[in-house]
């Protein structure tokens, strides 16, 4: 039999064997994380059980201490324990600031052992959301207070000023997307590996337009809170920053419709007219809004509906092999789980290497429309060409003789469950809420934006492990037959230890809806009716006392099961119709 044919048969048999072995290893990777279980308990009203779940799985001093404070902070926010929520979120903010620079020792540990062995530092968009929810807590306390209300509102403004300072830093750093950056934590050896594996990944300019660059929503909420406190100049500045961000790409990036931009313009017009001295700007805004007259002053109610639960991070596995005959690197997805999970994994793989209509792919994925994805053995094959000899000299070819499992993360697609949400005052429908912020898209785009570096570092980690094992086997002086068995066994052991970092702030909502209503001062019964795609309607009701010219009220809507009545619930009534 021809030697090349024999080698090809052996290669394919090894590939098939390892794929089966890796598939069995994935059985233990499908468990629901504790913080996903906690938020599912919270939506049923089981807050104390949810908190205990967090305390049991995320200690206040361990590698995941940030999640301890983030999740407990959000659970207390949902309960209406606003002061305790802020104390916990203060701790989370401090941890993020302390972890801003990851230590060299932790980077080395992550390279050798895996990212889950390092201290979780959160995501770039977590810090603004911490400030946002702390401000909502102070605002809710102000809504409830009979005295000292302005002090509470001033505390909310402190949070928004901190948020604005942070966003200025983000904007300063978000320029120059075309500058190619190396993944952090790579030493000289792994940089060589990175240079060899770089062709496996999407071009850097493909994903440059999904970076978190600014936050139009955060600026807008700042404007509302500043206007509520009578700081009109600060409100004007925040509304202008919000409008600029929405119009220059934020609305497109996060799929926000034009009604929100119109609302921002209306608010900007209002504060400019109230402040005076902006005749030219006022005229331009009136023209844009097709408004010739100024409406009479009337109290305003701003409603924020935090809705659903954000997507869960899951583990996605790939098999990296060397095809010696073609002198190429081959990366193959190992699909696992339900058919929907397998479709999501394949679509994730396709998104990483898509060359057109990336935004369409992202929007469809975020809405759960992943289509009937072909489930064949799609591979990414890159000929090394002149780099082949470098790969041989480096020991990469020998190390990957039996392949290596690479574990990274993907996000489960969010099912499109919401048709629309309405607000009723008394027994009258007065408005429809519009999406103003998509935490799901924010999370998805951040994950995609970091996917290349995540895979590169995961590849480097597994290759270094394989090469280290290869050197150890060579040093034993085993003959060829035992050496092959040892390398195969080592490949399986490395597959067992490969893992992705699935940690995330799971209790965040999927999206935030918004509407602004003219209203009279006094007591009002407000009802939100959320119409689901299934035809069901979730109804939530609360009595609100309007005492200021500008009022901000927030709530959380769970879609699968409305939480049970509790003494400190945000709502006094909630039912699924």
Global pTM value: 0.81
Per-position DSSP letters for 162-178, written without gaps between them:
HHHHHHHHHHHHS--TT
199: CB partners within 8 A, 6+ apart: 329, 382
Q: What sign results for the dihedral spanned by CA atoms 232, 234, 237, 241?
A: negative
> Which is more confident, 494 or 201?
201
User: Alpha carbon 95 to chain centroid distance?
Assistant: 19
Residue 129 pLDDT more than 80?
yes
The model's pLDDT over 343-353, given as tens digits with 9 standing for 90+, comes to 888 888 877 75
Most trustworthy range by pLDDT among 129-133, 142-146, 368-372, 474-478: 129-133
Residue 19 pLDDT more than 60?
no
Q: What are phi and psi of 194, to 5 degrees?
A: -60, -40
> Which is more confident, 210 or 110?
210
Average pLDDT, whole number, for the chain? 79
Residue 179 pLDDT more than 90?
no
Q: What sign results for the dihedral spanned by CA atoms 508, 513, 516, 521?
A: negative
At residue 2, the pLDDT reads: 52
Beta pairing, strands 511-518 & 300-307: antiparallel
At residue 119, the pLDDT reads: 85
Of 4-8, 305-309, 476-480, the poorest mean pLDDT is in 4-8
The model's pLDDT over 263-275, given as tens digits with 9 standing for 90+, comes to 999 999 999 999 9
The model's pLDDT over 21-68, given as tens digits with 9 standing for 90+, comes to 455 445 445 567 889 999 999 999 999 999 999 999 999 998 999 999
Residue 82 pLDDT more than 90?
yes
The pLDDT confidence band at residue 197, using thresholds 50, 70 and 90, is: low
At residue 348, the pLDDT reads: 84
Beta pairing, strands 300-307 & 550-557: parallel
CA atoms within 13 A on the CB side of 68: 15
At residue 474, the pLDDT reads: 60
Residue 505 pLDDT more than 90?
yes
The residue whose two tokens read 């980690």 is 461
Q: What is the mean pLDDT of residues 359-383?
A: 59
The pLDDT confidence band at residue 500, using thresholds 50, 70 and 90, is: confident
**Size of the chain, expressed as the number of residues it contains:** 577
At residue 569, the pLDDT reads: 34
Residue 105 pLDDT more than 50?
yes
- Confirm if 73 and 85 have CB atoms less than 8 A apart: yes
The model's pLDDT over 430-470, given as tens digits with 9 standing for 90+, comes to 999 999 999 999 998 888 877 777 777 776 776 666 666 66
Of 284-288, 291-295, 417-421, 560-564, the poorest mean pLDDT is in 560-564
User: Which 3 state secondary structure label does DSSP give 187?
Assistant: coil
Residue 571 pLDDT more than 60?
no
Residue 108 pLDDT more than 60?
no
What the block records as the tokens of 175 is 């320029």
Between CA 173 and CA 177 the distance in angstroms is 9
The model's pLDDT over 387-422, given as tens digits with 9 standing for 90+, comes to 788 878 877 777 777 777 777 888 887 777 889 999
What the block records as the tokens of 531 is 């119409």
> Which is more confident, 163 or 482?
163
What the block records as the tokens of 10 is 């052996």
208: CB partners within 8 A, 6+ apart: 177, 178
At 391, which helix (H) or strand (E)? helix 388-394
At residue 353, the pLDDT reads: 58
Task: Tell me the CA distances in angstroms from 92 to 98, 503, 564, one per residue in order.
Answer: 10, 15, 28
Residue 503 pLDDT more than 70?
yes
Residue 573 pLDDT more than 50?
no
> Which is more confident, 252 or 70?
70
At residue 387, the pLDDT reads: 79
User: Which one-letter DSSP state was computed for residue 564?
Assistant: P
Residue 234 pLDDT more than 70?
yes
């Amino acid at each position: 039999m021809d030697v090349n044919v024999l080698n090809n048969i052996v290669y394919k048999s090894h590939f098939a064997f390892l794929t089966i072995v890796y598939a069995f290893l994935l059985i233990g990777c499908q468990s629901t994380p504790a913080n996903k279980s906690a938020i599912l308990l919270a939506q049923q009203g089981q807050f104390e059980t949810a908190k205990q779940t967090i305390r049991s799985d995320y200690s206040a001093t361990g590698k995941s201490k940030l999640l301890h404070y983030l999740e407990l902070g959000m659970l207390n926010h949902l309960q209406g324990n606003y002061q305790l929520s802020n104390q916990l979120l203060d701790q989370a903010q401090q941890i993020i600031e302390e972890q801003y620079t990851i230590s060299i020792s932790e980077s080395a540990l992550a390279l050798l052992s895996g990212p889950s062995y390092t201290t979780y530092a959160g995501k770039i968009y977590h810090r603004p959301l911490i400030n946002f929810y702390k401000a909502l807590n102070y605002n809710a306390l102000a809504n409830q207070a009979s005295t000292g209300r302005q002090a509470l509102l001033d505390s909310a403004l402190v949070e928004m000023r901190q948020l604005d300072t942070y966003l200025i830093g983000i904007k300063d750093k978000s320029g120059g997307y075309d500058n190619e950056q190396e993944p952090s934590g790579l030493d000289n050896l792994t940089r060589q590996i990175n240079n060899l594996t770089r062709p496996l990944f999407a071009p850097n300019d493909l994903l440059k337009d999904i970076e978190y660059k600014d936050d139009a929503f955060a600026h807008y909420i700042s404007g509302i809170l500043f206007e509520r406190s009578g700081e009109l100049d600060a409100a004007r500045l925040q509304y202008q920053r919000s409008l600029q961000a929405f119009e220059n790409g934020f609305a497109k990036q996060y799929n926000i419709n034009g009604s929100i931009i119109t609302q921002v313009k209306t608010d900007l017009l209002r504060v400019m007219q109230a402040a005076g001295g902006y005749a030219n700007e006022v005229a331009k805004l009136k023209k844009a809004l097709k408004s010739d007259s100024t409406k009479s002053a009337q109290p305003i109610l701003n409603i924020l509906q935090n809705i659903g639960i954000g997507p869960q991070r899951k583990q996605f596995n790939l098999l990296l092999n060397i095809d010696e005959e073609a002198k190429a690197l081959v990366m193959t997805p190992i699909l696992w789980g339900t058919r929907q999970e397998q479709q999501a994994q394949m679509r994730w793989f396709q998104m990483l290497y898509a060359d057109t209509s990336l935004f369409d792919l992202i929007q469809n994925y975020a809405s759960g429309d992943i289509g009937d994805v072909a489930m064949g053995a799609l591979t990414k094959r890159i000929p090394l060409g002149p780099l082949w000899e470098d790969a041989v000299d480096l020991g990469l070819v020998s190390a990957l003789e039996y392949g290596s499992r690479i574990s990274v993360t993907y996000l489960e697609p969010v099912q499109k469950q919401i048709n629309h949400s309405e607000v009723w005052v008394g027994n009258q429908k007065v408005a429809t809420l519009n999406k103003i912020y998509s935490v799901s898209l924010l999370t998805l785009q951040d994950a995609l934006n970091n996917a290349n570096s995540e895979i590169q570092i995961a590849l480097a980690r597994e290759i270094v492990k394989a090469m280290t094992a290869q050197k150890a086997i060579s040093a034993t002086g085993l003959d060829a037959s035992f050496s092959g068995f040892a390398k195969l066994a080592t490949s399986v052991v490395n597959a067992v230890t490969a893992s992705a970092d699935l940690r995330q702030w799971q209790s965040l909502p999927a999206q935030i809806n918004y509407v602004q209503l003219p209203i009279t001062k006094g007591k009002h019964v407000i009802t939100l009716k959320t119409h689901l795609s299934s035809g069901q309607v979730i109804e939530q009701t609360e009595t609100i006392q309007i005492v200021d010219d500008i009022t901000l009220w927030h709530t959380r809507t769970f879609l699968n099961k409305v939480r049970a009545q509790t003494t400190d619930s945000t709502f006094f009534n909630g039912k699924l119709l």
